[in-house]
């Protein structure tokens, strides 16, 4: 027998003995037996409570009480299913929306990278005086690689796509060029074979490839014999040396990994070309600051050794995860803030419902208090009930969250990093559970404290009616808070809506309608030399232009609004007058002669390229209006010389309109100058690198489904090994460039509608309750001659007062938040964060919805029969 049970076994006997002795003593003092016993009982106090308190000393009592509370709570809620259902649904919406957004934040921002010791992974970047983040050059990387002692290992990589022509059907695949040691830097063990060896990571090393699990299953039937087999990429034969574990992913889905040093020698040999990313793993005890100072020291030496290329070049080490999610974490936090507002509104709604309900339960609490229940005990009972409700809401909300997450992932912009990592997983479950507990306690606390402080005598004397106490003050304040918060959300989604409307009206500098772009993997047999590559493209375009319905067609290496960055230095004049890092930068478009007709970019001065501008003729460039204004402010740019880095000095033959490349909300802050170069004038050694990047753009009034079969026919006609891929209309590309605004607007809009719905239910509930409390008063007013219209006005007025109070407070909060929102300046465009039009519009919406919500209870009030109301008591 436990000590606890032994101690408690005799308690009842002890108490009985105690009272018996006292009674005996009283009798000895001369009291009658009855009198003696009642006096002894009075002196002892409440036996039941003494017993309970003694039990509590040996307590697991709280657990026992908890189960009693849960059972009682379930019974109480079952007795009032209407309240329970509304409360659970409301909470499910709030918790569901929050859980969904939390799973996005968890998956993208919070979850650690899926590599061993992810905290030690860093990204290494370079920087220029006027640009904080710059890709690195491979020669710089090689110089760092063995000099920074805080790094356990380093690796460089660049994205590349491959045309696979065997084994199996030809396909276009994404992949990466990597240095040997890439996978061991990440800490990833291959499922089969090994990663690229240092000897394979050399310009003339044996061509080797590591392939993904997917490709291995697809092309090698998941056979271990795949190692050592050949794979044909872009016409060259590679040996498969390793297979990655399933699910491996670094930034993007990639199927093929080959040696970086076997890529384009023009790019990896040139210290001035910044086309690579570098990752590193810190040694176990090394700090970023320490690595940074070592790296800076190395780079300072390089700056001195190679002034033409590296002067003023800096380096930057960032935690890998931070670097990946930095851009989106701000927007995600904004959305998380918005969704937590919805939860607060849901909470206040349920708190209001519980207040009304607890008013009806006053008598119950008075009786329990009279029977000896302590205040803490009653608060606990009520909190148990509200936590039960919240947990039920949480379970339902989790279901909603699962649905919402799949919708969000489908809507997420391609630029959202780690989107594949978003799921309803254990941390999300814990979050939903935690938030339910907190919510249950929050919305339960006010009614609990309120109900438990009942005045026993007043409540019991009030008799059977029970609902003597209303909470008009608390309820009104809660409704005002709801209205204010709703206004803030409406304001936010209104601003984003206006932003998107503005963005659609922005003139991007070209006509995005009726343009289709796609890529073609030309057969390796046609692209053996630079001149055969040029010929192959010219012939391909000639055939495409003959297709009925094609108005114009040409290629470009940079599709506007595609986020592709092909920036590079240039100098006005015939000399490289400054170092690379100090030179002005422009975005380079390598195009064919018909490109302007395809895009409808206006020619402002001079001419565009003609077929006569080829490798034999004088090098020429066409510049955009921004470059013309900034670098030739008071002279005619026509005929001037411009020296293009990595190419040659060329004569300006024309000026064209500026194209918004960095998004429709492009304000010209980043690399606004643009230079066009004819693809046919590129030096032979550059042709292979640029040919791989070319997209064909076609202007046609026909839609994609109609024209693409004809185009595919023409392309396939020249050889079966030429995949056509990445087919997109310019409208799609423009629309995708607004994806982050669109997703934010859809989410914020959804939350605003949800908030509006909940808030109108809230104001409806409070007014209905108030009307039911005021029936007698309304009856008297009507008996004294008030018209139905007056009553209607009075009740709606009462509701509107709350709405307007909320509106004013909400406006204040929204103005304060406006500063915060302005910080996300890339999110808003063409509209100020305190835009009066948006404010008026959303206020109007809020007021209209409130009037609607007030109308129902007001109508009920106006239909009160004065006689019935007065007889009611």
Torsion of CA 140, 145, 151, 152, to 10 degrees: 160
Residue 468, phi then psi, degrees to nearest 5: -80, -30
Beta bridge partners of 552: 699
61 in contact with other proteins (CB under 8 A) = no
Closest by CA position to 385, among listed 409, 361, 403: 361
What string marks each residue from 373 to 412 as x (binds other proteins by CB under 8 A) or -? -xx-------------------------------------
Q: Which is nearer to other proteins, 49 or 648 (CB)?
A: 49
- Please report, for residues 62, 361, 374, 382, 387, the alpha-carbon distance to residue 68 in angstroms, rounded to integers and kept in the order given: 10, 19, 16, 12, 14
Q: Which of 32, 269, 301, 453 binds other proteins (CB under 8 A)?
A: 453
Q: Which of 125, 358, 452, 533 binds other proteins (CB under 8 A)?
A: 452
Buried b or exposed e, range 635-666, using 16+ CB within 10 angstroms: eebbebebbbbbbebbebbbbbbbbbbbbbbb
Structure-block tokens of residue 359: 């008013």
14 in contact with other proteins (CB under 8 A) = yes
Shortest Cβ 469–other proteins spacing (Å): 15
Q: Judge contact between 678 and 620, C-beta under 8 A.
A: yes
Residue 653, phi then psi, degrees to nearest 5: -110, -5
Residues 6+ away with beta carbon under 8 Å from 593: 554, 608, 609, 610, 611, 613, 678
Burial class from Cβ neighbours inside 10 Å (0-12, 13-18, 19+) for residue 720 reads exposed
H or E segment and range at residue 505: helix 472-505
Shortest Cβ 17–other proteins spacing (Å): 6
Q: Which is nearer to other proteins, 50 or 442 (CB)?
A: 50
Q: Which stretch binds other proteins (CB under 8 A): 9-17, 127-135, 306-314, 620-628?
A: 9-17
Shortest Cβ 375–other proteins spacing (Å): 4
463 in contact with other proteins (CB under 8 A) = yes
Structure-block tokens of residue 218: 């697809």
Q: Judge contact between 130 and 433, C-beta under 8 A.
A: no
54 in contact with other proteins (CB under 8 A) = yes
58 in contact with other proteins (CB under 8 A) = yes
Shortest Cβ 765–other proteins spacing (Å): 29
Shortest Cβ 43–other proteins spacing (Å): 5
Closest by CA position to 481, among listed 796, 843, 847, 810: 810
Q: Look up tokens 């500063």; give the residue.
A: 819
User: How many of the other CB atoms lie within 10 Å of CB of 298?
Assistant: 17
Q: Judge contact between 835 and 748, C-beta under 8 A.
A: no
Structure-block tokens of residue 20: 């018996």
Shortest Cβ 30–other proteins spacing (Å): 18
Shortest Cβ 95–other proteins spacing (Å): 33
Which one-letter DSSP state was computed for residue 863? T
Binders of other proteins among 315-374, rule CB under 8 A? 367, 369-370, 372, 374
56 in contact with other proteins (CB under 8 A) = yes
Rounded CA-CA distance 764/858 in Å is: 10
Shortest Cβ 464–other proteins spacing (Å): 10
Shortest Cβ 12–other proteins spacing (Å): 11
18 in contact with other proteins (CB under 8 A) = yes
Q: Which of 32, 35, 44, 783 binds other proteins (CB under 8 A)?
A: 44
Shortest Cβ 863–other proteins spacing (Å): 34
Q: Which is nearer to other proteins, 375 or 793 (CB)?
A: 375
Shortest Cβ 78–other proteins spacing (Å): 27
Binders of other proteins among 587-616, rule CB under 8 A? none
64 in contact with other proteins (CB under 8 A) = no
43 in contact with other proteins (CB under 8 A) = yes
Q: Which of 16, 21, 133, 635 binds other proteins (CB under 8 A)?
A: 21
Shortest Cβ 446–other proteins spacing (Å): 17
49 in contact with other proteins (CB under 8 A) = yes
Q: Where are the alpha helices (DSSP H) in 784-828?
A: 788-823
22 in contact with other proteins (CB under 8 A) = yes
How many residues at the interface with other proteins, by CB under 8 A?
36
Q: Which of 47, 222, 430, 837 binds other proteins (CB under 8 A)?
A: 47
39 in contact with other proteins (CB under 8 A) = no
Q: Which is nearer to other proteins, 56 or 322 (CB)?
A: 56
Structure-block tokens of residue 351: 């708190």
- Please report, for residues 10, 66, 69, 704, the alpha-carbon distance to residue 62 in angstroms, rounded to integers and kept in the order given: 22, 6, 10, 69
Which positions lie near other proteins, rule CB under 8 A?
7, 10-11, 14-15, 17-18, 21-22, 42-47, 49-50, 53-54, 56-58, 367, 369-370, 372, 374-375, 452-454, 456-457, 460-461, 463
């Amino acid at each position: 027998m436990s000590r606890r049970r032994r101690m408690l076994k005799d308690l009842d006997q002890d108490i009985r003995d105690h009272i018996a002795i006292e009674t005996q003593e009283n009798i000895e003092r001369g009291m009658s037996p009855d009198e003696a016993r009642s006096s002894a009982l009075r002196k002892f106090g409440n036996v039941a409570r003494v017993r309970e308190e003694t039990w509590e000393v040996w307590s697991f009592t709280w657990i026992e009480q908890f189960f009693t509370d849960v059972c009682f709570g379930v019974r109480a809620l079952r007795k009032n299913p209407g309240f329970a259902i509304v409360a659970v649904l409301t909470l499910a919406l709030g918790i569901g929306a929050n859980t969904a957004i939390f799973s996005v934040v968890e998956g993208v921002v919070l979850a650690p990278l899926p590599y061993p010791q992810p905290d030690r992974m860093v990204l290494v970047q370079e920087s220029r005086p006027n640009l904080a983040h710059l890709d690195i050059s491979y020669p710089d990387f090689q110089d760092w690689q063995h000099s920074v002692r805080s790094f356990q290992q380093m690796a460089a990589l660049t994205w590349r796509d491959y045309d696979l022509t065997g084994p199996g059907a030809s396909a276009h695949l994404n992949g990466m060029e990597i240095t040997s040691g890439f996978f061991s830097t990440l800490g990833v063990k291959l499922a089969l074979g090994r990663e690229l060896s240092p000897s394979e990571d050399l310009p003339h090393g044996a061509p080797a490839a590591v392939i993904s699990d997917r490709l291995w299953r697809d092309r090698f039937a998941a056979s271990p014999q795949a190692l050592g087999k050949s794979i044909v990429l872009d016409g060259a034969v590679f040996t498969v040396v390793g297979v990655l574990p399933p699910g491996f992913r670094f930034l993007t889905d990639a199927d093929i990994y080959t040696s970086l040093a076997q890529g384009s020698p023009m790019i990896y040999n040139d210290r001035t070309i910044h086309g690579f990313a570098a990752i590193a793993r810190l040694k176990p005890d090394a700090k970023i600051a320490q690595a940074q100072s070592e790296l800076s020291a190395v780079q300072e030496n390089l700056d001195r050794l190679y002034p033409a290329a590296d002067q003023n070049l800096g380096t930057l080490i960032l935690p890998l995860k931070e670097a990946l999610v930095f851009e989106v974490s701000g927007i995600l936090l904004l959305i998380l803030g918005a969704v937590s507002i919805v939860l607060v509104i849901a909470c206040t709604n349920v708190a209001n419902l519980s207040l009304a309900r607890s008013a009806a339960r006053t008598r119950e609490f008075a009786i329990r208090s009279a029977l000896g229940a302590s205040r803490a005990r009653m608060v606990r009972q009520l909190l148990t009930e509200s936590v039960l409700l919240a947990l039920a809401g949480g379970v339902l909300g989790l279901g909603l969250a699962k649905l919402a997450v799949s919708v969000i992932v489908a809507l997420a912009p391609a630029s959202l990093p780690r989107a594949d990592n978003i799921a309803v997983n254990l941390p999300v479950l814990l979050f939903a559970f935690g938030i339910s507990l907190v919510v249950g306690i929050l919305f339960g606390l006010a009614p609990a404290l309120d109900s438990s402080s009942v005045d026993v005598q007043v409540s019991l004397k009030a008799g059977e009616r029970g609902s003597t106490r209303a909470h008009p003050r608390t309820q009104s304040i809660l409704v005002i808070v709801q209205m204010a918060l709703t206004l803030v959300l409406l304001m936010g989604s209104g601003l984003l809506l206006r932003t998107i409307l503005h963005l659609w009206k922005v003139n991007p500098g070209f006509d995005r309608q009726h343009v289709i772009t796609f890529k073609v993997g030309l057969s390796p047999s046609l692209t053996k030399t630079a001149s055969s590559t040029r010929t192959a493209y010219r012939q391909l375009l000639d055939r495409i232009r003959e297709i009925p319905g094609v108005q114009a067609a040409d290629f470009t290496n940079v599709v506007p609004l595609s986020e592709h960055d092909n920036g590079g230095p240039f100098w006005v004049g015939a000399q490289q007058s400054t170092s690379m890092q100090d030179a002005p930068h422009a975005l380079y478009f390598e195009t064919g002669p018909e490109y302007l007709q395809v895009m409808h970019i206006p020619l402002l001065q001079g001419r565009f390229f003609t077929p006569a501008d080829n490798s034999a003729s004088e090098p020429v460039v066409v510049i955009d209006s921004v470059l013309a204004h900034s670098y030739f402010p008071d002279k005619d740019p026509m005929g001037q010389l411009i020296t293009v880095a990595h190419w040659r000095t060329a004569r300006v033959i024309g000026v064209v309109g500026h194209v918004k490349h960095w998004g429709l909300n492009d304000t010209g802050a980043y690399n606004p100058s643009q230079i066009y170069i004819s693809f046919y004038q590129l030096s032979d050694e550059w042709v292979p690198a640029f040919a791989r990047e070319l997209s064909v753009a076609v202007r046609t009034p026909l839609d994609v489904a109609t024209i693409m079969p004809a185009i595919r026919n023409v392309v396939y006609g020249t050889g079966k090994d030429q995949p056509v891929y990445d087919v997109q209309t310019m409208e799609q590309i423009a629309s995708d460039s607004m994806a982050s605004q669109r997703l934010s607007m859809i989410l914020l809009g959804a939350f605003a509608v949800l908030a509006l719905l909940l808030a109108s239910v809230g104001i409806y509930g409070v007014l209905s309750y108030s009307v039911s409390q005021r029936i007698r008063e309304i009856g008297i007013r009507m008996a004294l001659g008030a018209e139905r219209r007056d009553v209607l006005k009075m009740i709606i007025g009462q509701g509107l007062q709350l709405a307007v109070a909320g509106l004013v407070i909400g406006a204040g909060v929204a103005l304060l938040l406006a500063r915060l929102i302005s910080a996300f300046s890339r999110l808003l465009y063409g509209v100020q964060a305190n835009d009066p039009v948006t404010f008026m519009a959303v206020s109007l919406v809020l007021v209209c919805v409130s009037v609607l919500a007030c109308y129902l209870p007001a109508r009920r009030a106006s239909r009160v029969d004065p006689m019935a109301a007065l007889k009611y008591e």
